[in-house]
Amino acid sequence: MPIVSTIEASSAPAVLSGEPMTATHTIYALSSGALPAGVAVVRISGGHTEAVLQTLCGGVPAPRTAALRSIRSRNGDVIDSGLVLYFRGPASFTGEDCAEFQIHGGRAAVNALLGELSRLDGLRHAEAGEFSRRAFQNGKLDLVEVEGLADLIVAETEMQRRLAVEHSGGGQSKVYAGWAKRLTHARAMIEAELDFADEDDVPGSVSERIWQDMSLLSQEIAAHIADAPIAEIIRDGLKIVIAGEPNAGKSSLLNALAQRDIAIVTEIAGTTRDVLSVDLSLAGFSVKLYDTAGLRETNEKVEQEGIRRAREIIERADLVLLLADTPDGFEVISDFASAKTPVLRVGTKLDRGKDWRKGSADVLVSTKTGEGMERLLDAIAAHLPDLSGRTSLSLPSRRRHVDSLRQAQRAIADSMARQDLGLDIRAELLRLAGDAIGRITGRVDVENLLDVIFSEFCIGK
């Protein structure tokens, strides 16, 4: 176990030599949360890291050992005292020499340190996602792991965390790497049959040894694609729309589920004119709840626009909570919802003692007394993905993943089906399938994707 050392910085710091600005400059940024905070972490990465440590701390700590140092300006003035860690490349997050200053999280202390770093030659402030981009470029992370890291930073629910950990930890990448390896093996076997068909040590018929595995691989990819809607719900939330006639209790239910006042509630019909939304966590999943304008025929222009927006959000919903305070009120949804959208009929204002026939509603609730709210939550949870029995969340979580997988699946299917083509053409189709899978992890032709992916990151990551 290394011993944490206490070494005071020298008042005669080293000087960094001048150098033109380039993409390979040493970069720095605040990597921790908003200020003020108990502790702030300032990260640097690049070839000047050791010189920076020598300049500000009077020495370079032993790699991967936390050292308590006084951090000084070039004039010898103390900026702050804190822990300093040094990571020598390539054994670092970015693959370059890296360091972290863990100082007190006051704005003045952090701004003083960042200001001092900005005055050192060869350094510049990092762009959004630049640390992670360097990690990708230096082979420390692939694109799926990078995207998983971005998701882990913003994860708010347990399922989002689990999905992000699976991706950032390389679990998803291992699946794609295994598929790419099988495609490469298939092409190698085809090439062997083409080039050495008369040799005794070449395996037997390609159709027996390769196409059977390619058929199985196509089925595996299809099953993987079929899981994409589950990943979409985990990442973006189950979209639930509260719909019904005016004064059916929609805004009251939104407020009750959110446990705070989101929507205005009055006895005046048509109070809600726009779509209101709130994010909830239910059974570890994110749920996006939308309150909409009451569905009815009206000549009032503002209310007409609210109903038009309600129609749009209902069409995109994963689940519609159709509210009514009488059994006849459920008929309103027939002209508004797609037949593919599940509808949960919720009878409201149970506390008013109205006569609800058995089976006239799926759930009966009172937002005033709370009666039936637990049953409603259970009914909503029944529409969440069933992940029981899954040991991992290896799911395609982005549209670009699904698009590339479909390209790969089509290329494999064409290669198997086109027996009229030569083996060389069928092998080329398998190469195209492998390239499509490679684009998911960033192994092939992804330069145009990088700016989009890394722009999702915050500064300092």
Residues 342 and 401 in one domain: no
Q: Which helix (H) or strand (E) holds 108?
A: helix 107-118
Which one-letter DSSP state was computed for residue 157?
S
Which of 89, 108, 126 delimits the end of a domain?
126
Residues 324 and 248 in one domain: yes
Q: Give the pair of three-digit tokens for residue 455.
A: 């722009």
Q: In CATH, what number is assigned to the domain containing residue 30? A: 3.30.1360.120
DSSP of 40-102, one letter per residue? EEEEEESTTHHHHHHHHHSS-PPTT--EEEEEE-TTS-EEEEEEEEEE-TTSSSSSS-EEEEE
Residue 369's Cβ-count burial label (10 Å; 0-12, 13-18, 19+) is exposed
Residue 99, domain extent: 6-126
Q: Is residue 344 part of a domain?
A: yes
Residues 193 and 281 in one domain: no
Which of 94, 126, 158 delimits the end of a domain?
126
| Contact present, 187 and 430 (Cβ < 8 Å) | yes
Q: Is 406 left (phi over 0), alpha (psi -120 to 50) or beta?
A: alpha
Q: Is residue 34 part of a domain?
A: yes
Q: Model confidence over 389-406: pLDDT tens digits?
A: 677 788 998 999 999 999
- According to DSSP H, which parts of 316-397 are helical? 373-381
Q: Model confidence over 209-233: pLDDT tens digits?
A: 788 999 999 999 999 999 999 999 9
Look at residues 375, 325, 320, 317 and name the one whose alpha carbon lies nearest to residue 344: 320
Q: Is residue 247 part of a domain?
A: yes
| Contact present, 113 and 39 (Cβ < 8 Å) | no
Tokens 């209790």 sit on residue = 249
Residues 251 and 222 in one domain: no
Q: Give the whole-angstrom CA distance, residue 181 versus residue 196.
A: 22
The pLDDT assigned to 245 comes to 80
Q: Which residues of the chain have pLDDT under 50?
A: 1-21, 263-273
Residues 267 and 221 in one domain: no
Residues 189 and 300 in one domain: no
Q: In CATH, what number is assigned to the domain containing residue 314? A: 3.40.50.300
Q: Is residue 349 part of a domain?
A: yes
Peptide bond connecting 36 to the previous residue in cis, omega within 30 degrees of 0: yes
Q: In CATH, what number is assigned to the domain containing residue 180? A: 1.20.120.430
Q: Is 330 left (phi over 0), alpha (psi -120 to 50) or beta?
A: alpha
Which of 126, 142, 158 delimits the end of a domain?
126
The pLDDT assigned to 334 comes to 56
| Contact present, 412 and 430 (Cβ < 8 Å) | yes
Which one-letter DSSP state was computed for residue 316?
T
Q: Give the whole-angstrom CA distance, residue 234 versus residue 284.
A: 9
Residues 256 and 344 in one domain: yes
Residues 404 and 431 in one domain: yes
Residues 255 and 221 in one domain: no
The pLDDT assigned to 18 comes to 40
Q: Give the pair of three-digit tokens for residue 180.
A: 């790419």
Amino acid making up residue 196:
F
DSSP of 170-205, one letter per residue? THHHHHHHHHHHHHHHHHHHHHHHHH-TT-TTS-S-
| Contact present, 461 and 31 (Cβ < 8 Å) | yes
The pLDDT assigned to 336 comes to 53
Q: Is residue 138 part of a domain?
A: no
Q: Report the domain count for the chain.
A: 3
Q: Give the pair of three-digit tokens for residue 22.
A: 């380039």
Q: Is residue 150 part of a domain?
A: no
Residues 247 and 218 in one domain: no
| Contact present, 229 and 401 (Cβ < 8 Å) | no
Q: Is residue 144 part of a domain?
A: no
Residues 122 and 177 in one domain: no
Biggest CA–CA distance in the chain, Å, is 88
Residues 279 and 200 in one domain: no
Q: Give the count of beta carbons closer than 10 Å to the beta carbon of residue 256.
A: 17
Look at residues 173, 170, 179, 246 and name the one whose alpha carbon lies nearest to residue 213: 179
